[in-house]
């Protein structure tokens, strides 16, 4: 997660609440043909889980990349998101059959936006050498860069990288970007959502590109922030996928969890700028296990991430797009000790010694 401020609006009773948060430098339907969900044995051991995990590297005690890849494979994690094209990680991924999303750092966006040659150089260095051994699913051009100083560079950089991919006949690698809820000016109820004035033009540019090429927009969704900001108004079960019935009613659409409401807020916002058919993927979602008292316990983190994973794998979709599969990534693989102290150091599913912070894959 990048340092940014996000706003999430919701309503309970007659009260409209704006949540302000700092994201610090942070089987209903199973689509068997394309998305594998295998249960092996009576103990429910999972192999081939069709969800990704973000592999961050902001720690000085993390295991070698080769061991990280082995940990992904031993837990059946089929997808990995890299925030940057780390050479050691890419080398370790050779032959792993893990599907990879590789990120373009925000600070690299101006060069890639202004020069096809720079885009080609980035591709030649970070993708081309690994094409025979790594399955690249996405190139994520920037992380939460819109709005902001790098926002105007996202669209041109996406175009230049896509042109390079097409020149190399790599039609299967999709180019996208990752955004956060900060781009929403209004988000409650979901049907009333709209992009902020500051973000609307940039989002329209990006969505036109994604629509043209059939690629999804990646969105970072964190119900934790809303719950931690206003626990007296945001029900824990609504934040954690555990509510037994509707908590929010929006016309004919009923919402039992805040994740779906947030995703649908993006979908409604995209419709309002003329792009009703762009798919949504989840760049990251998670819940810290420590760092903020009673709001961040291992049990809360396990409950959220387990339910989030099940929600995605079972292709439940959202009330506005039911039974719709979404590519998704849990944030994050490890606790990272070089991040700011507090919750940012405690999103990991594993400690750096590779033991689980809490059980989720077995």
The residues carrying an active-site annotation are 144, 284
d(CA 280, CA 29): 18
Q: What value, to the nearest 5°, has the Cα angle with vertex 151 and ends 158 and 201?
A: 90
């Amino acid at each position: 997660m990048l340092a940014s401020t996000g706003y999430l609006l919701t309503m309970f009773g007659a009260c409209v609440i704006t949540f302000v948060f700092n994201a610090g430098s942070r089987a209903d339907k199973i689509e068997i043909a394309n998305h594998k969900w295998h249960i092996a044995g009576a103990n429910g051991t999972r192999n081939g889980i069709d969800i990704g995990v973000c592999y961050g590297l902001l720690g000085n005690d993390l295991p070698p990349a080769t061991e990280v890849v082995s940990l992904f494979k031993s837990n059946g994690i089929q997808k990995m998101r890299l925030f940057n094209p780390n050479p050691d990680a890419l080398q370790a991924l050779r032959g792993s059959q893990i599907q990879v999303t590789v990120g373009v750092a925000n600070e690299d966006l101006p060069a890639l936006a202004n020069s096809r040659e720079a885009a080609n150089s980035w591709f030649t260095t970070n993708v081309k050498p690994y094409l025979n051994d790594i399955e690249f699913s996405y190139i994520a051009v920037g992380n939460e860069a819109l709005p902001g100083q790098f926002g105007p560079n996202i669209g041109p950089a996406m175009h230049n990288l896509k042109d390079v991919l097409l020149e190399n006949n790599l039609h299967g690698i999709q180019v996208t970007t990752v955004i956060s809820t900060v781009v929403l000016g209004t988000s409650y109820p979901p049907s009333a959502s709209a992009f902020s004035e500051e973000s609307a033009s940039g989002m329209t540019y990006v969505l036109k590109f994604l629509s043209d090429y059939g690629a999804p927009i990646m969105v970072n969704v964190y119900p934790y922030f809303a719950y931690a900001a206003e626990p007296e108004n945001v029900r824990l079960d609504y934040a954690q996928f555990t509510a037994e019935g509707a908590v929010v009613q929006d016309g004919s659409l009923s919402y039992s969890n805040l994740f779906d409401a947030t995703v649908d807020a993006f979908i409604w916002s995209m419709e309002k700028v003329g792009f009703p058919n762009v798919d949504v993927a989840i760049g990251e979602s998670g819940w810290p296990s420590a760092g903020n008292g009673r709001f961040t316990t291992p049990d809360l983190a396990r409950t959220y991430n387990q339910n989030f994973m099940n929600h995605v794998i079972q292709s439940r979709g959202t009330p506005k797009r039911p039974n719709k599969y979404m590519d998704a990534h849990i944030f994050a693989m490890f606790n990272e000790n070089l991040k700011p102290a507090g919750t940012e150091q405690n999103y990991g599913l594993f400690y750096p010694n590779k033991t689980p912070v809490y059980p989720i894959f077995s």
